[in-house]
Amino acid sequence: GYLPARIVYMSEDGPEAMVQVELPGNWYDNTTLGNGAPGRNKSFVDEDDECVVDLTQYPNQELPVQNLEDDGTTIISYANMSRMKHLSEPAVLFNLKERLRLEMPYTRAATDVLISVNPMEFSGRIESLYEDELREEYCKKLVGMAPNGCYGGGHVANDGTSELEPHVFETSALAFQDLAHTGRDQSIIITGVSGSGKSEAAKFCLCNVVLMCATNFALEAEQSPDREAPPDADLPMFLMDSNPIFEAFGNSATVLNTNSSRFGKLTELLFAGAGTDTGESPRLVGANFSTYLLDTARVVGHGAKNERGYHIFYQLLASPKSYRRQLWEGTDRLDPSCFRYLGATNITEIENGSDEDHWYTTIAALETFGITEDELRTIMIALCIVLQLGNITIGNEKTSEDSMRSINTSAYDDLETLSKLMGVAYEDLNNAITRRTVQIGKNHTKLIQLMKGDVLDNRDSFAKMIYSLVFDWLVERINDYICPYEEGKFNTIRFLDYFGFEQNDRNQFETLAINYACEKMQCNMTDRLLKLESQYKAEGIIDGKQTFNTPSNSDILDLFERGHGLITVLTDESSRNSGSDSGFVFKIKNIHRNSPALVEEAGRVKRSALMASTKFSIRHSVGIVEYDGTNFIASNKNKLSEDLLNIGRSCTNKIISEGFTERAANIRAGLTQENEFLSAFSTELDGLISRLNDTKIRHIVCIRPNDVDAPKVMDQHSVLKQLRSANIFEGLLIERSAGSYCDSLSFGDILKQYICFYGGTSTNRSPKEIVRDLLGSFFDEENELAQFYKMGNERVFFSKDAIFRLEEQRQNLLGFSASTIQCFLRGVPCRSEYLKKRRAIILIQSCWRRHNALLYFNAYRDSAAAYEIEESSRCRSQMMEHESAVLIQGRWRIFWAKTCFNEGKHAASVIQKSFRAWCKRKSLTMSLHRLIHHAKMDVRIKNLLEQLPLSAANGSSDLAMESKETIVYMHEEMNKLRNSNLALQEQLSSEKGSIVRLKRNSSLRSERSEAHQIDVRKLNAKTQMLEAELRVSRKEAKQLQDKLQFSDLIANKRADELNLTYVKQISERDTDIACLRQQLSALQTKHNFEKSRLSGELEKGATTGKAEIAKLNERIESILAAHKDEVSQLLSSLEQMEHDRDDIKGKHESYESELKDMKEELDSSRNDYLEEVAQLQREFRKSTAADKMRIRELEDELHSTKSDLEQCKDDLRNNASDDVNFLRSALNKAHNDIRKSKLEMDALKASHELEKNKIRNEMKKKTAPCRRCTWQKSMTKAKARQKEKNRAIDSDSE
């Protein structure tokens, strides 16, 4: 280690110097060497000792200089070690030590590298470093805030790191800020040894970003109109609650750390809307957890008593007793030592919390992800199954010949309990653990009893697999809850919490895999440094002759990967049936005996010693690690027997059964490679590193200061080794040599991003000249040119302040341009609105002026035409009086005329009455006279008839007879005339009745014709309506035909797609079959080659003896059997593929038949539809034809009615002419009668005049008040009419 000292003198003879050690007062309290406690290592050096130092052991033969204050004793604490006055390895070491003493655990190293020294305590100032106020201060100064208050949307004027102390909040905030402004994916890699605080650093980084996103979600909810939170607002809670689950199921207590993470974890936060110039902050839309290399060896045991298994087992045993009894009675044993997998331990608290407290925390976190009741019980029972598996013990082997068959489980109760927990039969479980089923031929199997060691390995492998399935199920459940709601391309921030180098008392396969992963990550970091160094040299930023001696671990990776490396040899040895751990170690030592990474064994001479040993040592970056190769082959195979797989699939526990079923399906599909665990893990690491290299990487190097967990104490040897493994000093030297130019941009990127600052012309100029002018115009002063950037051959290297100044000016310019564009964009609608309002104002003003002018005009017109109005009113009143007088006169004349008419009418009626009475009297008189005359005539005729005999007696018989005959004849004629007269009178009355009936019929027929016309009009309207419906139905029929055609096209297209899919599947199956045939041929070739090689070896070794020949024969038979199994498996898989192909063809044919059926159904439905349309058309035609027939019938009926009316008119005319003739004759007779009665009328005239005068006098008396009322009514009507005329005149004037 390094000690602080003062130079006494420099030797002139050689590169030596005399120095005197000067230790600070608190040196022994803050320093330890090795594993000693602070204060106990004073013997390693004495203060004020003088010693000679060999300068050849130091760079440039110069002693490193301390960075001290002016007092010469106090070490200067640098937050950024690239700004140290004297940069050296001990200066870096003492700076970290001083900052640890001052409780400043974080220090900036090279660009984007932060050193985090574990303070080993969480109190005092250390606790205040993680308060929310400090975290928000880092976020506000480094990330910036949008106008709405969200993080990540604003612009940061400078990086702010000069005024802030280094912190993990700074690293995560800068990653979020870079993502928000550039849209480039970010990665934060946390590395360090076990116990250096990697998990806590990753937790604080994730917490910082998640809380910023939670603040953004809260602000969005407050600013939304409905105050509803966005759909992704629960993501921060899910991400925070995932930590207790990962710690419970993935962390355990080790010698170096009581809460050591035993798996690698990559956390990906997915963001949308990053890298836009809209000023909006990136929005967290989802996340994803990926885990790597769970240390399943920790499931089946741990080391000393100061270690433990995974925390969840101890939390389960510390859970409430009632809950444990519901799960399994075996959990009543509270002591972990009752379970062999847990064993005895001295650890009772983890991070100042009991297992019971952590149990409730874990259950609450599981409930966040919906794991309650049944699913929680399933998980806990799976853990109980793992614990109970560890209690299965195996009996001792017997020495008899039947020893292999005598091995069995000695604890019947434990196995019975396990079978009940798993829900499988006891015999099946016993056979699966202690025996192995071997296939003999095609139809026969045999159970082979396993050795004790193989049984224990079976048991442990089964327990490891169950716990791995539970862990994977939890990770998948968490990812289901935090996956994004929508698909798309998202920007990411990745947090990689990976393994640290491990060196235990016994280092097995898991330790080798962990250290290999650390070497891969270390190599990636070294390659980045070498690439940066070569870039600086190529661009002329640093001297090409300057070397930095960056250590590389390529020889270690060559040992693992190059040629027949460790991974290849282990894969080959695992593939061989006779492969062994010792054979693997022997091949490694033999093949790589010249590798500098493989430590040679002392005295390695004998071949038998090499073959017997299973231990080998590798020189890692942090030191030499010795590995025990026992069980390397079994661990790399990652394979369970088929019997155990069947037990897992038949288990009643859902997680276990589904996990084993999926694993078996993946093995059959080739997704899970057996015998290649380390090779697959190497491929997985390569993919992870490739994904990380596509992002902007920031490193957090965690340092474990000592191995005794003492605060403010540093083990200089251990810390120096960790710093050297992380290449911290080399990175600082490269950055220091480059002048702190941390960022670089190509000329094209500069012109693309900052061309807005260039005001010249770009014609006939190279990009370098344009960039030089652009940056020269931006940085005016010469000192700024040297301070902020440096031109290279193809790139420009900037300091961090320069990038921020450029970005600030660019953002200001873009902001000004955006505001200008926004002004114009906002001005267009504003101006249009202004012009619209201006036109409206002008219109309103013109209307108002018009209104005022109209008021003035109306007032002037009223005042000027007042005289005319008065005159017109007087004229109007006179006219009204005149009209009233005229009206009164007219009413009076009407009244008088009516009175005279009524008097005349009354007189006429009286005259008519008297005339009718006279006529009746006259007709009665005439009838009476006629009757008298007839009677007289009858009497005379009777007398004459009576006298005729007398006259005949007197001698005139002939005359008497003649007279008698004449009289009889005249009497008969007279009777005939009388009868004819009566018949004519009856006929006249009947004709009059028929005329009345004809008139009535004609009126009815006219009414009926009008009704028929109305019906005709209704039928015409109905016809038009039906025609419109016909047009609509035709249109709908056309649309349905189009839809039918479109559905036919879709069906044809779907059929084509299905055909293509089936053809593609068949081609893929054919390709798979061809590949399998190629593999089969290759295996046959390999089998023939192996057979020939072994036969050759058999011929060569024939002289060695029968025993060797027998061994070779057995080996040949085993190889033939193995290859036969493989060939049979390939043939069975080939038959299965052909069977699948036939199934696919059958499905294809069934799909084709279904498609034909669908087409036939479509055709039938189309025909049915066309028939329905035709039926509708026929019904419409029938209805229209019926309506037309009805119309024709109505027209015919109307025509017949018209002809009947014409006939009636003709009949009426004819009858009327006859009636007129008859009436004329009757009138003539009446005139004669009138003339005859004229005398009687003259006689009555005088009496009528007297009666008339009397009636007139009476009428005058009765009509006097009626005249007065009529005059009043006429006057009121005249006044109302005059008022209406006045209103009309006023309205016209307005």
In the predicted model, what is the mean pLDDT of residues 401-417?
58
Q: Looking at residue 340, what is its pLDDT? A: 87
Residue pLDDT, tens place only, 7-61: 887 777 667 888 888 787 777 778 876 555 555 444 455 556 678 888 877 877 7
In one letter, which amino acid is 153? G
Residue pLDDT, tens place only, 248-276: 999 998 888 888 888 999 999 999 887 76
- Assign residue 21 a region (left: φ > 0; alpha: ψ between -120 and 50; beta: otherwise): beta
End-to-end Cα distance, the chain? 116
Q: Which of 139, 129, 127, 138 is nearest to 164 (CA)?
A: 138
435-440 and 444-449 strand pairing: antiparallel
Q: Is the pLDDT of residue 1194 over 50?
A: yes
> How far apart (Å, rounded) are the C-alpha atoms in residues 727 and 487?
40
In the predicted model, what is the mean pLDDT of residues 722-735?
83
Phi, psi of 226 (to 5 degrees): -95, 5
Residue pLDDT, tens place only, 1054-1103: 767 776 776 776 677 677 777 767 776 776 676 667 666 666 665 665 55
Q: Looking at residue 1096, what is its pLDDT? A: 65
> How far apart (Å, rounded) are the C-alpha atoms in residues 646 and 352?
43
Burial class (CB in 10 A: 0-12, 13-18, 19+), 728: buried
Q: Looking at residue 186, what is its pLDDT? A: 93
Q: How confident is the model at residue 433 (pLDDT cuts 50, 70, 90)?
A: confident
192: three-class secondary structure by DSSP: strand
The kind and range of the H/E element at 1160 are helix 1106-1293
Q: Is the pLDDT of residue 528 over 90?
A: no
- Select the more confidently predicted residue: 1196 or 76: 76
> How far apart (Å, rounded) are the C-alpha atoms in residues 699 and 205?
12
Q: Is the pLDDT of residue 619 over 50?
A: yes
% of the chain beyond a pLDDT of 90:
13
Q: How confident is the model at residue 405 (pLDDT cuts 50, 70, 90)?
A: very low
Q: Looking at residue 398, what is its pLDDT? A: 41
> How far apart (Å, rounded) are the C-alpha atoms in residues 93 and 91?
5
> How far apart (Å, rounded) are the C-alpha atoms in residues 459 and 1222?
144
Q: Is the pLDDT of residue 1151 over 70?
A: no
> How far apart (Å, rounded) are the C-alpha atoms in residues 313 and 345?
13
Q: Which of 450, 444, 445, 412 is nearest to 431 (CA)?
A: 450
Q: Looking at residue 23, what is its pLDDT? A: 80
> How far apart (Å, rounded) are the C-alpha atoms in residues 688 and 517?
11
- Select the more confidently predicted residue: 1044 or 299: 299
**Vertex 814, ends 809 and 815: CA angle to 5°?**
95
> How far apart (Å, rounded) are the C-alpha atoms in residues 774 and 802?
14
User: 818-835 burial, b for 16+ CB within 10 Å, e for fewer?
Assistant: eeeeeeeeeeeeeeeeee
Query: Is-contact 712 510, C-beta < 8 A?
Result: no
Q: Looking at residue 655, what is its pLDDT? A: 93
Residue pLDDT, tens place only, 561-580: 888 888 888 888 888 877 88
- Select the more confidently predicted residue: 1001 or 1293: 1001
Q: Looking at residue 1266, what is its pLDDT? A: 39
Q: Looking at residue 639, what is its pLDDT? A: 76
Q: Where are the beta strands (DSSP E) in 61-122?
A: 106-108, 113-117
In one letter, which amino acid is 1258? E
Q: Is the pLDDT of residue 63 over 80?
A: yes
The lowest-confidence range among 242-246, 308-312, 880-884 is 880-884
Please provide the average confidence, as pLDDT, over all residues in the chain: 77
Residue pLDDT, tens place only, 450-503: 888 888 888 888 999 999 999 999 999 999 999 876 666 889 999 998 878 888
Residue pLDDT, tens place only, 1002-1044: 778 777 777 777 877 887 787 788 778 778 877 877 887 777 7
Q: Which of 151, 158, 167, 7 is nearest to 80 (CA)?
A: 167
> How far apart (Å, rounded) are the C-alpha atoms in residues 786 and 797?
11
Q: Looking at residue 927, what is its pLDDT? A: 72
Count of other CB atoms within 10 angstroms of residue 1090: 15
186-192 and 696-703 strand pairing: parallel
> How far apart (Å, rounded) are the C-alpha atoms in residues 1285 and 873?
12
Q: How confident is the model at residue 658 (pLDDT cuts 50, 70, 90)?
A: very high
Q: Looking at residue 652, what is its pLDDT? A: 93
Q: Is the pLDDT of residue 614 over 70?
A: yes
Q: How confident is the model at residue 404 (pLDDT cuts 50, 70, 90)?
A: very low
Residue pLDDT, tens place only, 348-403: 888 878 889 999 999 999 999 999 889 999 999 999 999 989 888 876 544 333 43
**Which residues are bridge partners to 264 per DSSP?**
292
Q: Is the pLDDT of residue 1128 over 70?
A: no
795-798 and 264-272 strand pairing: unpaired
Q: Which of 1133, 955, 1157, 976 is nearest to 1055 (CA)?
A: 1157
Q: Which of 799, 808, 792 is nearest to 754 (CA)?
A: 808
The reported pTM is: 0.63
- Select the more confidently predicted residue: 149 or 78: 78
Q: Where are the beta strands (DSSP E) in 165-226?
A: 186-192
Q: Is the pLDDT of residue 244 over 90?
A: yes
In the predicted model, what is the mean pLDDT of residues 668-687?
77
**Which residues are bridge partners to 187 per DSSP?**
494, 697
In the predicted model, what is the mean pLDDT of residues 1110-1116?
63
